């Protein structure tokens, strides 16, 4: 069972545990500062497939399959899988996972999908409707680039605030057993602060992260010091500075606990990745590759607040801003 | 609480009730056989907006707002809203609902979204994480046509098996009170039977509906005769015939209980709508406009199995089939 603390915020009364997790990353991510932490590095950006979209599907299938194997399970042991990605109509997920034949809930939370999936998968177990669920998501530099920005062969210049979509996937399996537990969560609200620059996603998403983190701290009566890390998804360096500023103005200093997966995954200067990594697979792979193993070793608790920008190229062409969202998962060692 | 009956199938032990619902439909839907049942008919397909996408957002906002008003609530009473639509990156939902500032879970289930949203919204209440949730979805003929098929001004001919995307929206509010209850549900599996004709969605989706309905009947030990209606989303006339054939071959005759929202919403011959209506808003508006009021009057129970095709124009161009899914909600009068 879960207990509602305030609108969209809950505590998990009977803890839902993280039984297994896995991360798969591309070559560039493998060369970055976190390269050694990922379970698998796939050197071929096509992953043996004829198109990038099919490659992304394969990344997602690989991450789930690996998480299943690591737990000594088979795919039939998973009751429900929650997934989504950035490609139009979420084909990275649907074509990637169809062969698993696991009851499937498709999500769209842009780069917040890993947290949204974990929240949904947690609440399904908490309701009693399933015993074991999974959450997975992915992104691919080349599928995102041609869909959201320009064809790769156009060779467009990148602005200083732009980020680099990660080629990566992360998967988590939830059940009644494991060394880590989901202690609670916060479902994000759509936040629109008027940013309309598609090359400055971090700034668009920072207010959403601030709203979600603040709401969770307030509802639970906890403070940044209570957590080892407060992790955001892919604000990058610009968005991270902004998040810390917004929180400071509200009287909450999270600067010592804050880490951003996007800012961590690349060595921006050496790798030419602008403000950092982005994409659903960024926070998913860094959570599953780096933070969850770290939390098992060190014991403690973290807040994982993945962040997503909910616009489309069409909505921007029609004069829309970049509405954003951040979903938060509170994870602690058992 | 809910009780797991088999993978993806659950019974709602403490019933989650339908407190309110609303439907909003476009002019053509208003002229169809169900015109008198919708709460509102919007004659202007632009709904006062400069673009069709913004019009679709307005349809969705209107349906939620109306469901909230009909229950004597305010938007702050809704703890979580589950929504999605067919437009790339689900901008119909995100731009439509952002002003409500309700904790938001974005879904992508194509035309199965209404059932997926109701299942998710039900399980969140069953978990104890929220007291009152909402599910909403929409579709718009002109946004879908230019995204999935051809620009409207191209004037392309329609094939006999093609369907007409409905301009409509439906919203449901779930809580502990109401005259109808969600008695259980079935989370669909992605089904791919090799159909690759984008103009024959009904045939692609029929096997998914059959799999979901069969799985629910088996897990609950119930029979078609136990239900007043077994409703599919938008199989249209071709897909409906196929569904009945598949079920017959499995030894289950649902022909007396089966109704299809897509086959009901238009007078195909008079309105030139091919095999019937389609789109997320088709099943959502017919459920909320016709079936739920009917169920309150007549008492009884229904199975609502919305159906979705999970492909994209790009996945078809890359040689993919049309993978489909069907989620089922079991609704009964209290």
Summarize pLDDT for A225-272 with one digit per residue, the tens.
Answer: 999 999 999 999 999 999 999 999 999 999 999 999 999 999 999 999
Strand intervals (E) in chain B: 2-6, 9-26, 40-42, 80-84, 104-106, 133-139, 164-165, 168-175, 180-186, 229-232, 258-260, 277-278, 301-309, 324-333
Burial of A72 (0-12, 13-18, 19+ CB in 10 A): exposed
Does residue A291 share a domain with residue A253? yes
295-334 of A, contacting B, C-beta below 8 A? 310-315, 318, 320, 323, 325
Q: Is there a domain that residue B185 lies in?
A: yes
* CATH assignment of the domain containing B243: 3.40.47.40
Instruction: Give B7's contacts in chain A (Cβ within 8 Å).
Output: 76, 79-80, 102-103, 130
Task: Say what percent of chain B tops pLDDT 70.
Answer: 100
Q: Using CA atoms, how far apart are residues A213 and A232, in angstroms rounded to an integer?
A: 10
Closest-CA residue of chain B to A192: B98
Domain around B99: 2-7+17-154
**C-beta of residue A239 within 8 angstroms of C-beta of residue A201:** yes
Task: Indicate whether A49 pLDDT > 90.
Answer: yes
Q: DSSP secondary structure string, B223-286?
A: -GGG-SEEEESS-HHHHHHHHHHHHHHTT---TTTEEEHHHHHS-HHHHT-TT-EESHHHHHHH
According to the model, what pLDDT value does residue B153 have? 80
Adjacent-strand bridge partners of A202: none
- Closest to A168 in 3D by CA, of A67, A62, A327: A62
Taking residues B86-109, report their average pLDDT.
97
Q: Is the Cβ pair B103, A323 closer than 8 Å? A: no
Nearest partner of B103 among A191, A283, A113, judged by Cα:
A191
Chain B partners within 8 Å of A109 (Cβ): 105-106
Q: Of A143-152, B216-225, B251-260, which gets the smallest average pLDDT?
A: A143-152
Whether residue A135 sits in one domain with residue A67:
yes
Non-local CB neighbours of B113 within 8 Å, separated by 6+ positions: B83, B84, B85, B107, B137, B280, B284, B306, B308
Reported as a single tens digit per residue, the pLDDT across A83-121 is 999 999 999 999 999 999 999 999 999 999 999 999 999
Mean per-residue pLDDT, A273-300:
97
Query: Tell me, what's the pLDDT at A217?
Result: 98
Which residues have CB under 8 Å from A220's CB, separation 6+? A5, A9, A11, A184, A330
B313 domain residue, yes or no: yes
**Same domain as B106, residue B201:** no
Q: Give residue B192's pLDDT.
A: 94
Considering the domain boundaries, does residue A78 fall inside one?
yes
How many structural domains is chain B composed of?
A: 2
Q: Which residues of A touch B185 (CB under 8 A)?
A: 129
B90 shares its domain with B216 = no
Please determine, for residue B158, whether its predicted confidence score (pLDDT) is greater than 90. no
Looking at the fold, whether A35 and A112 belong to one and the same domain comes out as yes
Q: Is residue B219 part of a domain?
A: yes
In a domain, B216, yes or no: yes
> Of the candidates B120, B154, B188, which is a domain's last residue?
B154
Minimal Cα–Cα distance from A166 to chain B, Å? Answer: 18
What was the ipTM of the complex prediction? 0.97
Decide if A244 is inside a domain: yes
Summary mean pLDDT of chain B:
96
- Give the C-alpha separation, B320 to B275, whole Å: 23
CA distances from B19 to A122, A171, A245 (A): 25, 36, 42
With beta carbons under 8 A apart, name residues in chain B contacting A186.
103
Q: Indicate if B25 and B123 belong to the same structural domain.
A: yes
Q: Does A104 touch chain B (CB under 8 A)?
A: yes
Residue pair A62/A44 in contact by the 8 Å Cβ criterion: no
> Tokens 């009901």 sit at which residue?
B264
> Under 8 Å CB-to-CB from B242, ≥6 apart: which residues?
B202, B203, B206, B207, B235
Residue A166 belongs to a domain: no
Best residue in A129, A139, A187, A280 for a mutation probing chain B (most B CBs within 10 Å) = A129
Of B1, B95, B103, the CB nearest to A188: B103
Q: Which two tokens stand for residue A324?
A: 């954003």
**Residues B197, B314 within the same domain:** yes
When pLDDT is averaged across residues B206-220 and rounded to a whole number, the result is: 98
Half-sphere exposure of B36 (CA within 13 A, CB side): 1
Residue B240 lies inside a defined structural domain of this protein: yes
Instruction: Show which of residues 183-202 on chain B sit within 8 Å of chain A, judged by CB atoms.
Output: 185-192
**CA separation for the pair B81, A188 (Å, rounded):** 11
CB contact, 8 Å: A4 with chain B?
yes
Residues listed for chain B: 334
- For residues B137 and B232, membership in a common domain is answered with no
A3 contacts B94? CB cut-off 8 A: no
Do residues A283 and A223 share a domain?
yes
Q: What is the pLDDT of residues B221-238, one digit of tens each?
A: 999 999 999 999 999 999
Question: How many angstroms away from the CA of B82 is the closest CA of chain A?
Answer: 10
| Weakest mean pLDDT among A138-147, A156-165, B7-16, B235-244 | A156-165
Last residue of some domain: B119, B154, B189? Answer: B154
pLDDT the model gives residue B157: 81
- Whether the CB-CB separation of B232 and B240 falls below 8 Å is answered with yes
pLDDT for residue A115: 98
pLDDT score recorded for residue A15: 85
Q: Which of A10, A187, A315 sits opposite B105 (nearest CB)?
A: A187
In this structure, is the dihedral angle defined by the CA atoms of residues B44, B47, B53 and B59, taken in order, positive or negative? negative
Contacts of A134 in chain B (CB under 8 A): none
> Do A134 and A208 belong together in one domain?
no
Average per-residue pLDDT in chain A? 96
Predicted confidence at residue A326, as pLDDT, reads 98
Query: Does residue B148 register a pLDDT over 90?
Result: no
Q: What is the dihedral of CA B285, B290, B294, B295, to 10 degrees?
A: -30
User: What pLDDT sits at residue A36?
Assistant: 98
| Of A115 and A196, the one with more pLDDT | A115
Examine the domain organization and report whether A136 and A220 are in the same domain: no
Does B149 share its domain with B183?
A: no
**pLDDT given for residue A150 in this prediction:** 80
Question: What pLDDT is recorded for position A101?
Answer: 98
């Amino acid at each position: 069972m879960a207990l509602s603390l305030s609108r969209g915020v809950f505590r998990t009364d009977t803890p839902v545990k993280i039984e297994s997790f896995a991360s798969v990353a591309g070559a560039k991510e493998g060369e970055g500062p976190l390269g050694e932490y990922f379970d698998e590095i796939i050197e071929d950006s096509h992953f043996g497939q004829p198109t990038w979209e099919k490659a992304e599907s394969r990344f997602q299938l690989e991450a789930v399959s690996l998480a299943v194997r690591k737990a000594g399970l088979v795919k039939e042991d998973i009751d429900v899988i929650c997934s989504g990605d950035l490609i139009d109509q979420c084909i990275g997920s649907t074509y990637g996972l169809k062969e698993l034949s696991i009851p499937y809930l498709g999500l769209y939370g842009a780069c917040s999908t890993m947290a949204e999936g974990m929240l949904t998968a947690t609440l399904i177990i908490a309701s009693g409707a399933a015993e074991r669920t999974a959450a997975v998501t992915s992104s691919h530099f080349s599928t995102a680039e041609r869909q959201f920005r320009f064809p790769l062969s156009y060779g467009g210049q990148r602005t200083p605030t732009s980020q680099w979509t990660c080629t990566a996937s992360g998967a988590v399996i939830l059940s009644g057993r494991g060394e880590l537990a989901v202690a609670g969560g916060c479902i994000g609200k759509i936040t629109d602060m008027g940013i309309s620059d598609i090359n400055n996603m971090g700034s668009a998403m920072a207010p959403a992260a601030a709203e979600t983190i603040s709401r969770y701290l307030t509802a639970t009566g906890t403070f940044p010091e209570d957590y080892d890390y407060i992790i955001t998804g892919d604000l990058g360096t610009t968005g991270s500075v902004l998040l810390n500023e917004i929180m400071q103005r509200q009287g909450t200093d999270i600067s010592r606990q804050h880490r951003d997966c996007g800012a961590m995954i690349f060595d921006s200067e050496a790798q030419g990745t602008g403000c950092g990594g982005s994409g659903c697979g960024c926070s998913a792979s860094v959570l599953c590759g780096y933070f969850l193993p770290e939390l098992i070793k060190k014991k403690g608790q973290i807040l994982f607040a993945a962040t997503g920008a909910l616009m489309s190229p069409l909505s921007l062409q029609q004069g829309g801003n970049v509405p954003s969202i951040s979903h938060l998962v509170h994870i602690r060692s058992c």
